[in-house]
A and B are shown apart, each in its own frame.
Chain A
Amino acid sequence: MSDAATFEALYRELEEAIRQLEAGDLSLEESLTLYSRATSLVEQCNALLDQAELRVRQVMARPDGSLEAEPFAASPTA
């Protein structure tokens, strides 16, 4: 799973946690657990953003028609 996919999953979980907390039909204990989960989700998301580095791959088709991708390095003159 790419970092972006991980981030997206965490972010959605965070949104869902907030929605549930606001709906207010959880037990107090569940609410407290969910809140601490939300805090941890935000920390993880921020950490992912902190370490993010753009990954660029170049897609091509092999002669047999199958697909492959290899890291793309921008041309040195760029």
Chain B
Amino acid sequence: MHMPSSNIYTVSQLTAYIKSLFVGDEVLADVWLSGEVSGFTQASSGHCYFTLKDAAAVIRAVIWRTQAARMALPRNGDAVVAHGYVSVYEQGGAYQLYVDYLEGAGAGQLWLEFERLRARLAAEGLFDEARKRPLPSRPVRVGIVTSPTAAALRDILRTLSRRYALVDVLLAPTAVQGAEAPAGIVAALGLLNRWSAEREPLDAIIVARGGGSLEELWAFNDERVARAIAASAVPVITGVGHETDFTIADFVADLRAPTPTAAATQVSPDERDLRRAMAGLLAQAQRALTGRLDAERARLANQAQRLRRISPALRLATDRQRVDDLARRAGLAMAGRLRHERERLRSQHLRLIALAPDRVLARGYAIVSRPDGTVIRAVAQVTAGDRLRVRVADGAFAVRATPDETEE
């Protein structure tokens, strides 16, 4: 075999050729791979190196620092599903998986850690209801611990601006995911607490982060963060992730809101409600004042009446009334008397009428008189043979007296 004059590659050339084959391959560009983690190390640069293996084969794997910061890192023995691309590491003469996503990495382990920490802090009484402090209904100053570039901050600021723009906001920016996040959150809480103690008091601190995977929210399950929240002199409200996400930070906070927006809503009154409340207070004041004025008016009327009762004018009027009264009574008495007299007069009159001679004559009596008109009232006045005149009702006639047989 003779050496060809051309087609002698350098190692670099060949390796570059091999690499181009990997890069051009559709399968290798987008790989899901399951395997067990072993030989895991994280270099001081932050990059992670390990191998994935199954019973018969092994492949080297890398997680770059920036990716590593966004995921829960695996431990040796973890069964994981990794995603990434396969390419060649020229200097090492090796092909390897460049991981951008890792599922199930320590999931069981993470859950176990979460539960263990939760139980420990609960036993310490850090989640006790008695520890929860009320949040102010109208805060003057509110602190926010979150990432300065995230949507969570925009949501919070927009909500505060819309509901209660008067509130003074102090932001302590920090990373909210990745390895540095727990220390950053702790520092931010410390900064705001210092500000509250040394400069201007804060009424509440919102600790927030938008939705994310379990790994992305993991900083809020860190014991340091939990203890910093518990130690905060300013009441803390958490708004981490979505409705369904619960973190250790939520348990230890004075109030847990389901989202960053909800947290902002919880610490601020709605300006429209405030205006309504003030109108209500003013109406209350009006009612109180009206009641007061009515009471004063009634008192005045009462006093006026008392005054009239003791005034000379009233006395005079009273006297006048008494006179009137007497006069009226006198009048009544007089009238009665008159009526009585009138009655008496009438009956006398009637008797008088009954006694009139004509009436007597009409009843069959007669008046006997002498021719000279002397009325005969007794037998002794008459002698036999006297001529007498008898007057009856309708006229008169003459008679001569004869001796009376019964008298003889």
Contact = CB atoms under 8 A, between A and B. Distances in A.
B149 interface: yes
Interface size class for chain B? 35 or more
A13 B285 CA distance: 13
B344 to A, nearest CB: 70
Nearest to A32: B289
Contact of B281 (A4, A32, A34, A42): A42
A62 B154 CA distance: 26
Given A74-B153, A74-B154, A78-B149, A55 B168 contact: yes
B257 to A, nearest CB: 19
Contacts, number: 128
Interface size class for chain A? 35 or more
B168 A58 contact: no
Contact of A59 (B138, B154, B191): B191
Interface of A is mostly: helix
A39 B138 CA distance: 20
A24 B288 contact: yes
B314 interface: no
Interface string A1-38: 01111011001001101100110100010011011001
Contacts of A67: 191, 194-195, 198-199
Interface in B148-180: 148-149, 153-154, 157, 160-161, 164-173
A5 B172 CA distance: 21
Query: Residue among A52, A54, A60 with the most chain B CB within 10 A?
Result: A54
B308 to A, nearest CB: 23
Interface of A: 2-5, 7-8, 11, 14-15, 17-18, 21-22, 24, 28, 31-32, 34-35, 38-39, 42, 45-46, 48-49, 52-61, 67, 69, 72, 74-75, 77-78
7 contacts: A3-B166, A5-B140, A17-B285, A21-B285, A31-B288, A46-B275, A59-B170
